[in-house]
Each structure stands twice: as structure tokens, then as C-alpha cells.
Amino acid sequence: MSLSEQSRTQPAPPVAPDGDGSALDRQRVVEIDRYQVLVDPPRDDLVALVEVAAQVADVPMATINLISDTSQHQIATKGFDASVCSREDSMCAAVFHEDEPVVVADASQDERFKDNPFVTGVLGAVRFYATHQLTTPGGVVIGTLCVFDTVPRELSSAQEGALTKLADRVVDLLELELRSRELAASVVELEGARVELERSNQQLAAFAGQVSHDLRNPLTAVAMSLSMIEEEVDPESDDLQFLVRRARGGATRMQSMIDDLLAFARVGAELTREPVDLDEVAAEVHEDLETALVGAELTIDPLPTVPGDHVQLRAVLQNLVANAAKFTRPGQPARIEVRARPTVVLGPGVADPLDPEAGQGVDGWRVEVVDHGIGIPAEQRDRVFEPLARVATQVPGFGIGLATVRRIVEAHGGDIGVTETAGGGATVWFALPL
């Protein structure tokens, strides 16, 4: 069903009557302005359509009229030159509010038209006249598809039906051009936003790098000075030893936060895409986190090879495993499982996933890091991926790690989320497309 045909079953919201119909005229003018056809040269597609209308009706003349609050504009014609006339002189303006097409064998014998200047000879000598309303998808009649002749004639029911369909096609063409124009504008806007975002990301990375460099040097000096002071402090002076250790801890945490911020700013700036063996990545992560995983039970199932950036995907897995090791229940060791399963596309009527080994239907992989710790409340599962967001304040950290993980996954075209582990705990998953 076309847009214009839909409008016949979905009438526009009623316009409040105001005596002279000016509210409806304003609405009509707005609709006509949206199509932007009054100031442009005649469109070839509309001219071709009126030529078909004239051929269908077997008449020498046809036109597409758009009727504003003051004028009738002929935007495409067959058999005569297009012009603009006052609404008072328009034959179509007198009847385009009718619910059905108007077909008149001889306008000179019709009370509605016999004194019209297009009939009397002042502007024309129309006899046969047929007009079909142009109704927008919103239910507003903006004009007519009109065919006419200087001699009386009749239309068959087949001709009338064909002209009605052609009137619908006029509106479809207007709508298609409007949507194409809107789409083109959206594309330009999106491209501008993309360029601006890319520029902002570059500036952010440069800024973060500069800030990191500017802060790292004085922090290094502070840390070295604190180390020297610690060597000079009397070991018996518990208070001074405590203060120095506290100051060194603060400097270390500040350095870690600077590094995290720099990593967050740089993610996605440039990806090196290559096949990444996640089994190899997991082995590297296990080795790097050997100290953090003391006492923990880590199980790693066979993992797939995916396209992506080895370094950044390693940062994802390392961050998720390290988090799982931190958020444990009091008095209980961490139990962590890393596993993966294919994501598949099911065809019509297919109830079971297609065979992953055959690669049929697989469109990506979902990697899960499962813990049995304190879990994440449902209302916090989206917030944990925001920068500086922290759920469990008793666990050390700055709340930047998961935000960085999300940026890496999204830069790979993937998605990330949290679900509850059966029996308690959190399962953080990320999905990567093939």
C-alpha cells in the first residue's frame, strides 16, 4: 500500500474550525512548503506522470495543481504552459475539498463551473473536466491531478480508477523526494558529527597525553623524595613511618589514575585489526595477574580466534579477570571462569543454533568472565561502565577500568553487559562480531 493510499485509511487529526477555514489553509501551506516544488523548475518525474494521466484519460491536457491559501500553482503540465492563477479563479479550488474525485462531462453546463473564467473563455474554454485530490500521508489535501479537454467527453470506470492511482503516485513521488532530501541532510549532519567527534577524540588523546606527561614528572620526583625520606626516618618513629607510607601510597594511586585516564582517552584512536587468539591472550593475562590471583580458582575454557587488536583485547580480558578477583565475598577465595560461545543467526523455522564447528550461521563470539563474588545490583549494571563510577567503594580503584573496557569493545564494533551469575555473583560479557 502506498503512502497516499494509507492516508485514506488514516485520516489527519481534525483541524479546529475557525469559520473561514484559515487554519486548514495554514496547514496546507505548511505541507506544500515541505515539498519545495513551487520555486524549482518542473520535475521530470512529475511531468512524465501528467503525460501518462493525459494518455490514460485520452485528453490533450493535464496538470498537477498545488493550491495554497491564495493561489493555484501548476507544477507540471501536459498540452499547455504552466502558470499561477488566483485561488478564486481555480476550478479545482472550488471542489478539491470533496471526498471523491470530481468528473464533469461538460463544465459549461455545471452550476459550479459555468461562470468560471477557465470555462467562459476569459482564461480558457474547458468543457470536459476531471480532478483527483492529492492527499498527503497526514490526510491533508494539497492539490489535484487534473485532466481536461475543450470538448465534452466521458470517462470509463477503468480510466477513473487509473487516474485515482496516478494521483496517489503524485504524492508518493513528492514524499520520496522529501524523504531523500531529509536523508541526505541527515547524512551530512552525521558526517559532520563524525568529523567533530574524531577531532574531539584526537584533542582528548593529545590533552590526556600532555597532562599525563606534565603530571608524571613531578609525581616521580615526589615518589623518589618520599623514598629517600623513608630511608632517613627513624624506624622507631611509627608516626613518621606511617605518614611517609601514606604519602607514597597516595602518589602511587595518583600515578595509576593518570595512566588509566590516558588509556581511556587513547582507546579507539587507532585499531590494529588482525586474528587474535584469545587462548593466547588468556594465558598472558593469567601470567600477568599471577600475584593478584593468589588463592583464586581460575578456569579458562577453550576460547576462539577473533578479528581485533591484540593489545586492546588483552586489556579487556585482563581488566575483567582482575575485577572478578577483587570483588569476592568476605572470607571466600575468588572463583572465576572464562568461557566463550558463538552467537548465531537462525534461519526461518530453525529451532536450534547451527553447528558452530561448521561455521554456519555464526556471526560473532560472546566471551564471558564469570565470578561468584558480591555481584552487581541490577540498577547499577549500566552505570558501572561509566567513567569514575564505582559500586563497591571498599575495593581499591578509580572506576575507569570498565569504562575503558567498554570503549575498546565498542571500537571493535561489539557490545558489553553484565548479568547475574547463577547462585550469586556477576557475569560480565562482551560480544565481538566476525
pLDDT one digit per residue (tens) for the chain, 434 residues: 343 443 333 334 433 333 446 888 888 999 999 998 987 788 999 999 999 999 999 999 999 999 999 999 999 999 999 999 999 999 998 888 888 899 999 999 999 999 999 999 999 999 999 999 999 998 999 999 999 999 999 999 999 999 999 999 999 999 999 999 999 999 998 888 888 877 776 666 666 666 666 676 777 788 788 888 878 887 777 788 888 877 877 677 667 656 655 665 666 555 678 899 999 989 888 887 887 888 888 999 999 999 988 878 888 898 899 888 887 888 788 889 999 999 875 444 444 444 444 445 678 899 999 998 888 887 777 777 776 554 554 444 434 578 888 888 888 888 988 898 888 888 999 999 88
- Nearest-angstrom CA–CA distance, 65 and 134: 9
Question: What is the CATH classification number for the domain harbouring 387?
Answer: 3.30.565.10
pLDDT, residue 170, reads 94
Say whether both 22 and 154 belong to one domain: yes
Q: Report if residue 287 sits inside a domain.
A: yes
- Nearest-angstrom CA–CA distance, 104 and 153: 8
Q: How many domains, the chain?
A: 2
Say whether both 31 and 165 belong to one domain: yes
Say whether both 158 and 11 belong to one domain: yes
Residue 306, strand partner residues: 276
Last residue of a domain, one of 137, 162, 181: 181
Say whether both 170 and 306 belong to one domain: no
CA 100-102-105 angle, 5° bins: 150
Secondary structure E strands in 58-140: 61-67, 71-78, 84-86, 102-104, 129-135
- Nearest-angstrom CA–CA distance, 208 and 261: 7
Tell me if residue 227 falls in helix, strand or coil. Answer: helix
Q: Report if residue 212 sits inside a domain.
A: no
Say whether both 21 and 169 belong to one domain: yes
- Nearest-angstrom CA–CA distance, 198 and 196: 5
Both ends of the chain: CA-CA distance in Å?
37
Q: Report if residue 202 sits inside a domain.
A: no
Which residue range(s) make up the domain with 42?
Answer: 3-181
Cβ pair 273, 313 in contact under 8 A = no
Q: Report if residue 336 sits inside a domain.
A: yes
Say whether both 150 and 11 belong to one domain: yes
pTM of the model: 0.50
Cβ pair 171, 124 in contact under 8 A = no
Q: Report if residue 215 sits inside a domain.
A: no
Q: Report if residue 226 sits inside a domain.
A: no
pLDDT, residue 6, reads 39
Say whether both 163 and 283 belong to one domain: no
Say whether both 11 and 122 belong to one domain: yes
Say whether both 169 and 277 belong to one domain: no
Q: Report if residue 157 sits inside a domain.
A: yes
Q: Report if residue 17 sits inside a domain.
A: yes
Cβ pair 124, 153 in contact under 8 A = no
Last residue of a domain, one of 113, 147, 181: 181
DSSP codes joined into one string, 296-350: -EEEE----EEEE-HHHHHHHHHHHHHHHHHSPPTT---EEEEEEEEEEPPPTT-
Q: What are phi and psi of 220, to 5 degrees?
A: -65, -40
Last residue of a domain, one of 121, 156, 181: 181
CA 400-405-406 angle, 5° bins: 100
Say whether both 281 and 415 belong to one domain: yes
Q: Report the candidate in 244, 209, 206 with the shortest Cα–Cα distance to residue 224.
A: 244
